[in-house]
Amino acid sequence: MSKEQKITLIDWPTLLQKLRVELDALDGTDRQWLRDRLDSIAAIQLELDDLFRLVGGLQVCAECDGACCGCGRHHVTLTNLLGYLIAGEDPPSPDFTRTCPYLGKGGCVLPVARRPYNCITFFCEQLEENLSEEKRQQLCFMDQQLRREYQALAERYPAASLRGIWIALERIGDGEILSTKQ
Ligand code: SF4
Ligand code: SF4
């Protein structure tokens, strides 16, 4: 069976239920640590989006018809799903018939604050050309800040690796997703 076929066999409601149970089992300190990381990630991502809009990203990407989302199949991480679950919300169901399972008809179905690191930090050549030197440095600084937060999560919970949730799930099998072991 190919990797893509295995991925489409993931039972989404079962996966979400498993994650909810594991989240509920975290003690108060761990839960607060996770909430703080996720809040920080959301805040940095909103700032990055301000920069993206400032350089005309909305219009440029609409004209390009979201070409880079054709490479996004493995960008979503456990961290992005936890952003929903810790707020008591359900992440949208992935659609594996699309090039990226979160690419809807009108673009990405994930809100800015819960979009993957690889997507939110990607300013293609065309967008980069619109950045002043000061804004380029700002982008670099925010990228590093954001990466540190994602890495902190991945260090505590290896399934939150930046390689993406679908790859992590293949490795874990039936094991605990919020496990602190490698
Ligand atoms: S970031 Fe660049 S490649 Fe991606 S959709 Fe926007 S313009 Fe196109
Ligand atoms: S998660 Fe969203 S922004 Fe990232 S590749 Fe998929 S559709 Fe594009």
Question: Residue 112 in contact with residue 77, Cβ under 8 Å?
Answer: no
Q: What is the pLDDT of residue 84?
A: 98
Residue with CA closest to ligand 2 atom 8: 69
Positions of E strands within 11-169: 103-104, 107-108
Tokens representing 75 are 């960008």
Question: Residue 83 in contact with residue 46, Cβ under 8 Å?
Answer: no
Q: What is the pLDDT of residue 1?
A: 47
Strand 107-108 and strand 103-104: the pairing is: antiparallel
Q: What is the pLDDT of residue 71?
A: 82
CB-CB neighbours of 41 under 10 Å: 24
Tens-digit pLDDT profile for residues 120-157: 999 999 999 999 999 999 999 999 999 999 999 999 99
In short, whether 72's Cβ falls inside 6 Å of ligand 2 is yes
pLDDT for residue 97 is more than 60? yes
Amino acid at 138: Q
Helix (H, G, I), strand (E, B) or coil at 27: coil
In short, whether 37's Cβ falls inside 6 Å of ligand 2 is no
Tokens 């937060």 correspond to: 149
Mean pLDDT of 13-30: 94
Positions of E strands within 46-181: 103-104, 107-108
Q: Which ligand is nearest to the CA of 106?
A: 2
Percentage above 90 pLDDT, the chain: 73
Query: What's the mean pLDDT when you consider all of the chain?
Result: 91
Mean pLDDT of 104-125: 95
Q: How confident is the model at residue 66 (pLDDT cuts 50, 70, 90)?
A: confident
Cα distances from 49 to residues 22, 57, 112, 143, in angstroms, run: 31, 9, 7, 12
Q: Which ligand is nearest to the CA of 118?
A: 2
Q: How confident is the model at residue 10 (pLDDT cuts 50, 70, 90)?
A: low
Mean pLDDT of 111-128: 96
Question: Residue 155 in contact with residue 148, Cβ under 8 Å?
Answer: no
**Which stretch of 35-49, 65-79, 107-121 has the lowest confidence by average pLDDT?**
65-79
In short, whether 92's Cβ falls inside 6 Å of ligand 1 is no
Amino acid at 54: L
Question: Residue 64 in contact with residue 126, Cβ under 8 Å?
Answer: yes
> Separation of 140 CA from ligand 1 center, angstroms?
18
Mean pLDDT of 70-80: 90
* Top mutation candidate among 102, 112, 123, 124 for ligand 2, by most atoms within 8 Å of CB: 102
The C-alpha atoms of residue 77 and residue 86 are separated, in whole angstroms, by 15
In short, whether 115's Cβ falls inside 6 Å of ligand 2 is yes
